[in-house]
Amino acid sequence: MYSVCVRDHFMIAHSFRGKTFGPAQRPHGATYVVDLELRRPELDADGVVVDIAKLGDCLRAVLGELNFRDLDQIPEFVGRNTTTEFLAREIFDRVAARIEEGQLGPNTASLSSMRVTLHESHIAWAAYEGTLP
């Protein structure tokens, strides 16, 4: 299995609901480093998993929709705990939609899976991984 990974970051504000979260129930900020990895069993005709520049642009665009935002104010997130795990899945879904729209080019049919990892700090991270259609 071949893979390629790009990295970027974004900054958000949010709060959590529930005693599980202790002081994080209050509004606070977070800066995430994001790794986006795509996999495929065979390289495409150009000898790559995917165009790495297009993948970086795609990740930057998706993160740009969330960067410097208060997630508690985004309508589709209201009432949700926007945990690191939740955000990993959200970014996965947004990137998968862009892949399906053709934003990474025509040679993406053989992409098999993707993993999105959000690093909260140098000692804690969460990820979402899944197959691609």
Q: 53 in the Ramachandran plot: left (φ > 0), alpha (ψ -120 to 50) or beta?
A: alpha
pLDDT at 133: 82
Domain span holding position 62: 2-131
Residue 70 Cα distances to 12, 28, 30, 76, angstroms: 6, 9, 10, 12
CATH number of the domain encompassing residue 95? 3.30.479.10
Instruction: Give 33's strand partners.
Output: 9, 119
Residuewise pLDDT in 10s, the chain (133 residues) = 999 999 999 999 999 999 999 999 999 999 999 999 999 999 999 999 999 999 999 999 999 999 999 999 999 999 999 999 999 999 999 999 999 999 999 989 899 999 999 999 999 999 999 999 8
> Which pTM does this prediction carry?
0.95
Say how many domains are in the chain: 1
